[in-house]
Structure 1
Amino acid sequence: MDPSPWVSFACPLPEELNARTHLCDKFPDLRHRDDFLEEPMGLYSKVLQSETAAKDRKSDLIRSRLVGYFILYAPTLQALEATVNELRSLQHDASKPFNSACYQLGDELLEKFVRPFRDRRCSECVCHYEDTTNLSVAKAVERAPQHAVIARLTALLRDCFRCEVTGAFDRDSVLGNPRVRTYYDNECPNELLWSTNAHHIIPDFDCLHPGLQGRIDETTEYSEAQWKFWERFGHPELRAELAGKIHRLENIITLRSDICEMADDLRLCLKPVHGKNRTYDIVIFGPNPEFYMRVYDCPAQKIHVINTSADIPIPNMKYLDISATCCFIANLSGAIEYKDKSRIISHRIVMDDPSRLSPGHA
C-alpha cells in the first residue's frame, strides 16, 4: 500500500444512479435511448469494480477514475459512443482481465490526453514578426492558422481587445493602437490594463514536445499518437482541422495572462452552455474556488462578446468541450497530481496560499 498522503481534491466515482442522471443531463437525447444507455452504464459498473479493486494502489485508483470520469464527461456524444466501443472490446478480450485493461486505458488517457493538455500553451511557437497593419481582415483570417502573431492580433480584434473571462483590456493594444485607445478612453477609461495571451484551446500536437529532446522521429511518433487517440475516441476530424493549422481562429481565445496560465494548468476551464449561443460557465478547480473566482474577477458565466463589424471565426464549441473534459477528468480523478511518469507529487501552485497574494495580481 502506498503510504503517501492524498494531496489532491479527487472524488470517488459517483454511484450508478447518480452517474446515469449525470449522463442524461449532459446528453438529453439519451433519455430517449434506453437501448444505448444501458451499455455505457453496464460498462461504467465494471469500471466502478476496477476502482474498488484499486483502493490500495493510488496509481491504478487514479487510472480507473480517469476512465470512469471520461465516460461521464465525454466531450461529445461521438466521444461517448467511441469510449463505449473501446470498453466493450476490452470486456470481450479474454487474454486480459478487465481491471488490468481498464487501468491500461486510464494510463493512455493520462499520457495522450491529460499530459499533452498540461503543456504550456500561452508560450506560442517562435515566429518572425511581420508588419500586419495593412492586412485586410479576410487576409488575416486566411493566414492566421499558420501564423501565431497574425492569429493573436486577429483574435484580439474579434474579442474587442478584451479577455473573454474577465473583460480586462489588452494593454499593448490600448497603448499601441490609437483607435483602440480612443475606444478605451470613451468606454472605460478607469479600467486597469492587463497583459493578455492568445490561448490555444487544443494544444499543438505537432510541435516539439519538451520531453523528446529535439529528435524529429520521436516528435513525429508523439504527434501521430495524439491524432490516432482522437481518431479512436470519436473525433478523427481533429487532424484535418488542426494539423499544421493550430493557430486557426476557432482554436484561439483571448485571455488575461494569469487566466491563461490557469487554463494551461487545467485549473480553469470555459465550459460551453449548450442551448445558449456563445455562453460559457467559468469553472475553477482546486481548493476554495469561490475565493479564486473573486480574486481573479471571474464571473460564474460569461457570454463571449465579439466584434460584430468583423467577419472572424469564433472559438469552436467542440474544442472548448474537449478542453473542459480534460480539466474535469484530471481534477476529479486526481491525475492533476501526476507531474511525470515516475511519481505523484503535489501540484499546489503559489496561488493556493492566499497569504502570498499581492493586491491586484495573483
Structure 2
Amino acid sequence: MDRWVSDARPLPDQPNARTGLLDEFPDLLQSTSDDFLENLLSVYSSVLQAEKAANACPQDLVRSRLVGYFILYAPTLQALKAIADELRSVQRSTADSESFNSACYRLGDELLQQFVRPFRERRCRQSIDYCEEEEAPIPEKLSVAEALECAPQNAIIARLTALTRDCFRCEVTGAFDWRNVMFNPNGLARKYHDEEFPNAPLKMLDAHHLIPDFDCDTSGWHDGWDNQGQPLRSEAQWKFWERFGHPELRGELAGKIHRLENIVTLRSDICEMADDLRYCLKPVHGKYGVFDNVMFGPNPDMYKRLHECLGRRIFMVNSAADIPHPKIKYFRIQATCCFIANMSGAIEYNDFETLTTRLVPWSGAET
C-alpha cells in the first residue's frame, strides 16, 4: 500500500514567489501599476513572517499558508489585487508584527471556512439526484432555447443539455455516457459512438459543478433547511467573493447553480475526486480550452494511470457552439481552491463536529 506523501510545503521565499507570480500572471507587469508587484511582495514577506511565527502551532501554520498560496495561485488578477489590498490594509492598521500575524491567521481561517470548506463536498450526487429522473419527467423534445432557459434551476435538464454539448463524453477521458448509448439505441449518443468512436469505453458520467451551491449549506451540520422549511443561506460565502474580486458571482449563480457555464461532464470517479479537491483542470494562460491535468494525493502518478488521466495537458472539445461552454473563470476558482488546500496542508484536516474551527488530522487524532 502506498505511503501517504503530503503535498503540504512551506511557502516559497520572496524571489521564488516573484517568479511564480509572473508565471501565473504573464501580463502582471503590463496590467498593474509600476509599484503593484513590489507592494504585493512586501505584504507577502509579512505573510512569510507569520508562517515562521506559527511553527509551534499547526493550525496557524496552515492558515498562514492558505493566505500565502492564495496570493501565489489567485484565480484572477482581480482576486490577486483584492487580497493584496486586504493585506496592505492590515499592514497599515497593525502596530507590530504580532498583530499582523494574528490578522493573517484570521484571514486564513476565513479562507478555510468560506472557500476551501464549501468546495470540499461530494456535490455531484447532491446536485443531481438520479431518482428524480423517474419522478419528474422531462418533455421529450425541448428546443435549445427552452433547455437553456430551464437548465439553471433544473438539474436534470442541465445534465442532459451539458451531455449534448459535450458530445456525451467525459471531457478528460473521452468515455461515453453508458446510459445514453445503451438505453437509447436510436439516439445521437449511440450513433456518434458507433460511427465515430466504436472502441471508446462506456462509463457512468456526471455533471460536475465547478462552483458549489453557496445558497444552501449541505456541509453536514444539519439537513440544509431552517425551521420554516426554507434553505439555509450561506451569505458569508457570497460576501467573501464580493471582497475578493468577484462580486458578480452572486448575480451569475445565486439561484442558478445549474447554469451550463458552471457544468462540465466528467466520469463519475473523476467528478468525485474533483469534489474532494484531489483533482482539477487548471486553465493554461494564453491557450483557450487547454488545461493542465492536475492531481493531488498520496501517489498522483499512480492515480493518473488508474483513472486514465494520462496527459499533462488536455484540450476540451465542446462541439455545440449554440450551448454555453464552461466558464474559464470558474475553472480557475476551483483550481485555486484545489492548489491552496493541498499545498497549505488544509486538505489533511477535517472540520470536527463543532461550530468553531477545529483542525483535525486525517487520521482522526486532534493536533
Do these two structures clear the TM 0.5 threshold for a shared fold by scoring above it?
yes
Task: Say whether residues 1:328 and 2:344 are aligned partners.
Answer: no
Task: Say whether residues 1:175 and 2:182 are aligned partners.
Answer: yes
Which of 306, 309, 312 is the aligned partner of 2:318? 306
Which of 101, 117, 120 is the aligned partner of 1:118? 120
Kept after mapping to 1: 8 A contact 2:62/2:346: yes
Percentage of matched positions with identical amino acids: 62
Q: Please state whether the residue corresponding to 2:294 is helix, strand or coil.
A: strand
Shift of 1:279: 1.2
Kept after mapping to 2: 8 A contact 1:202/1:323: yes
Q: Which residue of 2 aligns with 1:133?
A: 140
Kept after mapping to 1: 8 A contact 2:284/2:291: yes
Q: Which residue of 2 aligns with 1:346?
A: 362
Q: Which residue of 1 aligns with 2:226?
A: 216
- TM-score, length-normalised on structure 1? 0.90
After superposition, what is the alpha-carbon deviation per residue over 1:328-362, rounded to whole angstroms, capped at 9, x for unaligned?
000000000121143322279xxxxxxxxxxxxxx
Amino acid at match of 1:181: R
Q: Is the alpha carbon distance of 1:148 and 1:30 closer, same or farther for their aligned partners in structure 2, counting shifts above 3 Å?
A: same
Q: Which residue of 2 aligns with 1:189?
A: 198
Which of 101, 106, 109 is the aligned partner of 1:107? 109
Whole-Å separation in 2 of the counterparts to 1:225 and 1:82: 17
Whole-Å separation in 2 of the counterparts to 1:9 and 1:311: 40
Q: Is the alpha carbon distance of 1:243 and 1:333 closer, same or farther for their aligned partners in structure 2, counting shifts above 3 Å?
A: same
Q: Please state whether the residue corresponding to 2:292 is helix, strand or coil.
A: strand
Whole-Å separation in 1 of the counterparts to 2:140 and 2:123: 25
Q: Which residue of 2 aligns with 1:12?
A: 10
Shift of 1:274: 2.1
Q: Which residue of 2 aligns with 1:354?
A: none
Kept after mapping to 1: 8 A contact 2:175/2:202: yes
Amino acid at match of 1:86: E
C-alpha RMSD of the superposition = 2.0
After superposition, what is the alpha-carbon deviation per residue over 1:140-177, rounded to whole angstroms, capped at 9, x for unaligned?
11111000000000000000100011111111111123
State the aligned residue count: 342
Mapping of residues 27-66 of structure 1, within 5 Å:
27-32=25-30, 33-66=33-66
Whole-Å separation in 2 of the counterparts to 1:87 and 1:222: 28
Q: Please state whether the residue corresponding to 2:93 is helix, strand or coil.
A: coil
Kept after mapping to 1: 8 A contact 2:138/2:157: no
Whole-Å separation in 1 of the counterparts to 2:236 and 2:101: 24
Q: Is the alpha carbon distance of 1:66 and 1:217 closer, same or farther for their aligned partners in structure 2, counting shifts above 3 Å?
A: farther
Q: Please state whether the residue corresponding to 2:124 is helix, strand or coil.
A: coil
- TM-score, length-normalised on structure 2? 0.88
After superposition, what is the alpha-carbon deviation per residue over 1:32-70, rounded to whole angstroms, capped at 9, x for unaligned?
444110111000000000000001110000000000000
Q: Is the alpha carbon distance of 1:188 and 1:220 closer, same or farther for their aligned partners in structure 2, counting shifts above 3 Å?
A: closer
Kept after mapping to 2: 8 A contact 1:336/1:347: no
Whole-Å separation in 2 of the counterparts to 1:7 and 1:221: 37
Q: Is the alpha carbon distance of 1:281 and 1:217 closer, same or farther for their aligned partners in structure 2, counting shifts above 3 Å?
A: farther
Shift of 1:215: 4.4
Whole-Å separation in 2 of the counterparts to 1:247 and 1:306: 17
Mapping of residues 199-210 of structure 1, within 5 Å:
199-209=208-218, 210=220
Q: Please state whether the residue corresponding to 1:319 is helix, strand or coil.
A: helix
Shift of 1:10: 0.2
Q: Which residue of 1 aligns with 2:328?
A: 317
Shift of 1:82: 0.5
Shift of 1:133: 2.3
Whole-Å separation in 2 of the counterparts to 1:172 and 1:264: 22
Mapping of residues 231-250 of structure 1, within 5 Å:
231-250=242-261
Task: Say whether residues 1:289 and 2:300 are aligned partners.
Answer: yes
Q: Please state whether the residue corresponding to 2:221 is helix, strand or coil.
A: helix
Q: Is the alpha carbon distance of 1:195 and 1:245 closer, same or farther for their aligned partners in structure 2, counting shifts above 3 Å?
A: same
> Unpaired segments of 5 or more residues in structure 2?
352-356
